[in-house]
Structure 1
Amino acid sequence: MNKHNILFIGLDTHKEFSQVALLEDGRGVKAVNYGKIKSTKQSFIKLARTLQSKYPSATLHFVYEAGPCGYWVYRLLTSLGHCCYVVAPSLIPKKPGERIKTDKRDALKLAKLLKDEELTAIYVPEPDDEAIRDLSRARDRAMNDLKDAKYQLKALFLRNHIQCKVNDNWSNQHLRWLTELVLPHPSQQIVLTEYIGTITERLKRLQRLDNELHNQIKNWRFYPVVKAIQAMRGIRIVAATGIIVELGDLRRFDHPRKLMAYLGLVPSEHTSSDKRKLGSITKAGNIRARRLLVECAHSYKHKPNVSTELKKRQESISKEVNDIAWQAQLRLCRRYQRLMARGKHRSVVVTAIARELIAYIWAISREVAVAPVKPELRISRVPA
């Protein structure tokens, strides 16, 4: 048997089964189909041991697409001491005339592209980071569900020409007015009661998730970063947590421009010869982090100011971080007004502010010490 340095293994993972393809390191070697295995930990452990015994001098390099099955395959294979890469499906090269797609072809394609170094691995969060991200996303989903329920109730009032005389919507006074409201038809009264019950239930659900989020992040290793970036205007604990859980460790970016491009906040470009054309932003990367940054950017339309609430958030933060936050407020408020004076659309201005806002968040993250990952969290337990 020939000795090989690297064995490239393409995996097309699914819920029940996974397709496996092998490609040996060498010139002119073709990828071969290994077959299907069950998508269980025991099957992947057996696959790794079989390939290691068959190719004792080779280093195993696994690759698979990111999907709904999560990162347990990555963590399992890395805990066994093998190299594993998770790639984004949108970044996999595809031929224009390619019309046939099967699991076998996908696995073979991944092995070939990994060998040719044409794949870009994504950032895989640690297990505890992913757990906080799930909680943050659940809170975001609860907020959206609450908004949907409120929209349905408002639509009912609009269809029946019912106007509320309480100015403060969804206050205690407004909720009392809803319970005292009587509609002309019994069927509509049932609908009103159900809508009110749904809103009340979802308000309690949102409050529970808010409390859990506040309690859980205090023991999180990125909590110092979450606390530090709240020194900036327009960024409170929910937005700060959402940005950090989606982006992870910002220190892996050696320059803020790479972080801007990662979030898709840079303009698209088409340059040919001496002609250069810039388009809209690329909108690549994490959608939720980009949306949170745009929401926070709206706060910089006002003049620079440190409110009482912002001052309280800055009390337990170092002077270096507070100086960066004040510098960001001076620059971003001035830039917001300058772009609006030039006649730019408000959405364009807010996007430009969000692009620079993440640069200041990156600068703050480098001023804060983050606890290292615990060994028991870095390596998942592998069954015997």
Structure 2
Amino acid sequence: MSEKEAILGIDISKDKFSAALLKGEKKSQVKEFSNNLEGFEQLKQWLEQNQLEKVHACLEATSTYGHSVATYLHSLGHVVSIVNPARIKGFAQSRLSRTKNAQADATTIARFCAALKPQAWTPPSPEMAQLQSYSRRLRALEQMATQEKNRLKTTVDESLIEDIEAHLVFLETQIDNVKKRQKELLNEYSSLKSQADLLTSIVGIGEPTAMTILAEIGDINQFSSARQLAAFAGLTPQEHQSGTSVKGKTRLCKIGNPHLRKALYFPALSSIRHCSPMKDLRERFLEAGKNILNTVTGCEF
């Protein structure tokens, strides 16, 4: 890394984050900030004090805690990368890192960024971010409704039954409201509507699945190939073989977006039953010795 290059590693948490600054081969500087606008502005001042107009910032894709600081840094013209935590963990293990705290993690993230130069991240458009919020909220509400329905089957206390039924009515109302907002959003933005229409033209994909796919993928142009998109969803094969003694089964690599992976599973089953090309693809997988589950996941992309 040259003197002119500057790397910012960020270890994020709910209320605060640690930032490690690497400039050339110098020892990293580490500072802690609040995870709010005041903290972001202090981070900006810190970078200015170090006479840095542009840095390559890197942070892990952990929940939504890092989205605000990532968007803020991107708006200032900095390069931002959001990477899978498994990559950072593997990098730390390769360096035999033993210390585990926020400051050390931020430094590890910075060194990972300096060594591997991860792909730059682009914030989703406001409408895409809103669609993702609706999609994930809908899934959470549906999961809660399923849990309550299961409780209803095993509950014998009449007062509790009434309580569960009332909660179910509330959840169903909320589900309908979110679905309505999703449709309004699609109708408001023609680009989203046209993409959703293309997706629903595929056998096995209905409107709810199409909206989840759109929300989780974002800008599809960020993927240069179908295989890269499959890896993003965690749908690529993972072999476990070594020499002549280790011959494990090839399994699905689940290092990827779980929301997208789950949304594609049942459409894949449907396409295998009703779409001739997908039936043929599955047969080729079976002939190649793939197990039944892998043939389904292989048909998801």
Q: TM range, normalised to the smaller chain?
A: 0.7 to 0.9
Q: Is the 8 A contact 1:142 1:206 kept in 2?
A: yes
Residue matched to 1:127: 126
Q: Distance in 2 between matches of 1:301 and 1:44?
A: 49
**Under a length normalisation based on structure 1, what TM-score does the superposition of the two structures give?**
0.68
Identity %: 22
Q: Is the 8 A contact 2:30 2:107 kept in 1?
A: no
Per-residue CA deviations over 1:31-60 (Å, capped at 9, x if unaligned) read: 23343233332443343344335336x632
Q: Does 1:333 align with 2:282?
A: no
Q: Is the 8 A contact 1:88 1:121 kept in 2?
A: no
Q: Distance in 1 between matches of 2:9 and 2:103?
A: 10
Q: Is the 8 A contact 1:336 1:353 kept in 2?
A: yes
Residue matched to 1:149: 148
Q: Distance in 2 between matches of 1:198 and 1:331?
A: 44
Residue matched to 1:351: 297
Q: Distance in 2 between matches of 1:118 and 1:110?
A: 11
Residue matched to 2:188: 219
Q: Distance in 1 between matches of 2:160 and 2:43?
A: 56
Q: Is the 8 A contact 1:10 1:107 kept in 2?
A: yes
Q: Distance in 1 between matches of 2:84 and 2:36?
A: 22
Which protein shows a greater Rg?
1
Q: Is the 8 A contact 1:12 1:107 kept in 2?
A: yes
DSSP 3-state at the match of 2:205: coil
Letter in 2 for 1:349: T
DSSP 3-state at the match of 1:302: helix
Letter in 1 for 2:170: E
Residue matched to 1:268: 238
Q: Distance in 2 between matches of 1:50 and 1:340?
A: 58
DSSP 3-state at the match of 1:22: strand
Determine which of 288, 293, 296 is the counterpart of 2:259: 288
**Under a length normalisation based on structure 2, what TM-score does the superposition of the two structures give?**
0.84
Determine which of 38, 55, 62 is the counterpart of 1:67: 62
DSSP 3-state at the match of 1:147: helix
Q: Distance in 1 between matches of 2:8 and 2:288?
A: 54
DSSP 3-state at the match of 1:262: helix
Residue matched to 1:203: 172
Q: Which has the higher contact order (CA 8 A, sep 6+)?
A: 1
Shift of 1:5: 1.4
Residue matched to 2:105: 106
Q: Is the 8 A contact 1:8 1:23 kept in 2?
A: yes
Shift of 1:109: 1.7
Letter in 2 for 1:59: K
RMSD of equivalent CA atoms = 3.0
Q: Distance in 1 between matches of 2:146 and 2:199?
A: 27
Aligned residues: 294
Per-residue CA deviations over 1:69-106 (Å, capped at 9, x if unaligned) read: 14111111121122222222221112275442111111
Residue matched to 1:83: 79
Cα 1:250/1:84, change in 2 over 3 Å:
closer
DSSP 3-state at the match of 2:92: coil
Determine which of 94, 97, 102 is the counterpart of 2:92: 94
Letter in 1 for 2:109: L
Q: Distance in 2 between matches of 1:5 and 1:247?
A: 34
Q: Is the 8 A contact 2:79 2:120 kept in 1?
A: no
Per-residue CA deviations over 1:200-253 (Å, capped at 9, x if unaligned) read: 222222212211211112224432111111011111110010011111122222
Cα 1:51/1:261, change in 2 over 3 Å:
closer
Residue matched to 2:14: 15
